[in-house]
Structures are given as C-alpha cells and as structure tokens.
Structure 1
Amino acid sequence: MAKSKLLRMDNVLIVVEDLEAAKAFFLELGFELEGEAKVEGPTVDRLIDLQKVSATLVFMRTPDGHGRIELDKFHTPDAIRTGPEKAAVNELGIRRIMLAVDDIDELVARMLSHGAELVGEVVQYEDSYRLAYLRGPEGIIVGINEQLR
C-alpha cells in the first residue's frame, strides 16, 4: 500500500466568542471573506465528538488565495476556555499565525487604531525582516513580518 501524501494545508481553525469582532479584525488585516455557513446535526456531532453542536463558521483567505482561516462561533455547546484569554507567547499550543506584509509600520498603526494591542515591540531581525506580534479579539495573536531585502 502506498504512503498517503500531504497535498496542502486548507485552513487554521480559531474558535471565537465574538464572531463579528474576530471577522472585522481579520478583514482589517487584509483577509478576504470567502463565505459563511451554519453547521449542526449528527454528522458534525460525530466528527468533533460533541453533542447537539450548532456553530456558525466564517471562512477567510489571504489575498493570494493560499492562506486560509476558519473562525467558528459555537452556539451549542458553549465554547470553553482552559487557559488565560491573553496567553503568553510561550504558552503550549498554537500561539500565532504569521503574515507577510509590505508596510509593517502602516499596518501596526492601523490595527492599533482598531483596538489591537502590540504584544512586544516592532523589531528588526538583522538586515532581513522587521517583525511584530499583534493581539486581537479573543486574545488571538497574529505575527506580521516585512521583508527588507
């Protein structure tokens, strides 16, 4: 039997309480809305091993069409938080997604004016990149990098 081959990564799931705030955050970052759907029923229950699931999903993509996220708002059962809302960057688990941008200063200023927080500072890594981490709604951390050469 031939070994299965990885074809691509389709998306990263982010479970949120305030779907509209999370959607607005990612739209402001430059993501594009791909679609929305409501899911429920026994097939969904079996897939994720929960009972009486009802959720709204929002699908978003980067402008190049390669990067995708899925924002999920659970109506039932309620979403749960097992750690702090503003987890430290070194907390175990998925902590951030990284995005390439063409003007880090403009994007940081714009996102801060829309309620995002700068986690640390905008830093330069050698002569290659400028990097920053932004925290948005639900404690979501997004890394941004601007290539210098």
Structure 2
Amino acid sequence: MTLQRMDNVGIIVEDLDAAVAFFTELGLIVEGRAQIEGHFADQAVGLDGVRSDIAMMRTPDGHSKLELAQYHHPAPIGAGADSPPPNTVGLHRVMFAVDDIDDTIARLRPHGAELLGEVAQYKDTYRLCYLRGPSGILLALAEQIG
C-alpha cells in the first residue's frame, strides 16, 4: 500500500468565524462546517470529552485543504502572549501562491493580517512575504513574477 495524497492541514484557532473570514478573503472556499464530538472524536484525537467546531476549506484548484478547528472542550491551550517566531521548531507555516501579493496583503489587513518583514524579491522569479493571520497563524505568500 502506498500513500495516496496529503488530505489537509489542521489548524486550531481561537475564533472560527474570524479565521473562516480571513481565509475566505485569501481565496479559499468553505466546503463545509461541522460540530465534532462524541466517542469517535475522543478516540481519534486522544482527548476526553472533545467538543469542537470545524470548517473545511479548499483552494480554488481543489488540490489543497485547511481544516480549521475551534475547541470548546477540552479548553484550547494558547501559544502564550507572544506568537512563536518563524524559526520555532514544529509546524512552520502554510504558503499560498497568489497572483498579486500587494492586493492580497491589502485585502487581508482588515482581517488582522500583520506583515512580519516586508515583501522581498527572490531573483527574477518570486516576490515573497511572511505574515501573521488569525490566532497567530504564520502564513507565507508567493507571487511568481518570472
């Protein structure tokens, strides 16, 4: 048996509606929302009394998905007052290819996006940047220019 595909990346958020609005503005499409709880959830996650809301979002090409989850029980564990820097060990960031990086940043700012540095150009091929989204999620944007 071989690996078929990567199905999705799961991200725990503090405010599911705000995260859905942010990623919708980025261009992802909501496939569905659900409440997750019960014995199967406890078994799969390895926690007792799981109660959460999720939103499954996909990229316009249909090849990539994000599962956004807001835990109600057990209480979510926060990352602390400061969000971890980009060189923290663990899940690093999620990168999205966009057609206009400046427009994308401008559209995401009202949803709380904060640019970490500035938009940088790599040779004559890409413009790239890192930004923080809802719940401190670290994202990268890439615009192909060459």
Which residue number in structure 2 is paired with residue 61 of structure 1? 58
Unaligned runs of 5+ in 1: none
Residues 7/119 of structure 1: CA separation in 2 closer, same or farther (3 Å cut): same
1:38 maps onto 2:30 in alignment: no
SS at match of 1:75: strand
Unaligned runs of 5+ in 2: none
TM-score (norm 1): 0.93
Greater alpha carbon shift after TM alignment, 67-76 vs 103-112: 103-112
Counterpart among 48, 51, 58 of residue 51 in structure 1? 48
Contact preservation (8 Å) 1:99, 1:145: yes
1:78 maps onto 2:79 in alignment: no
Which residue number in structure 1 is paired with residue 24 of structure 2? 27
TM-score (norm 2): 0.95
Q: Which amino acid aligns with 1:134?
A: L
Q: Percent identity?
A: 51
Q: Please give the alpha-carbon distance, in whole angstroms, between the structure 2 residues aligned to 1:82 and 1:134.
A: 17
Cα RMSD after superposing both structures: 1.2
Contact preservation (8 Å) 2:18, 2:111: no
Counterpart among 134, 139, 143 of residue 136 in structure 2? 139
Q: Which amino acid aligns with 1:12?
A: V
Greater radius of gyration (CA):
1
Alignment of 1:70-149 (within 5 A): 70-83=67-80, 85-149=82-146
Q: Please give the alpha-carbon distance, in whole angstroms, between the structure 2 residues aligned to 1:109 and 1:31.
A: 16
Which residue number in structure 1 is paired with residue 12 of structure 2? 15
Q: How many aligned residue pairs are there?
A: 146
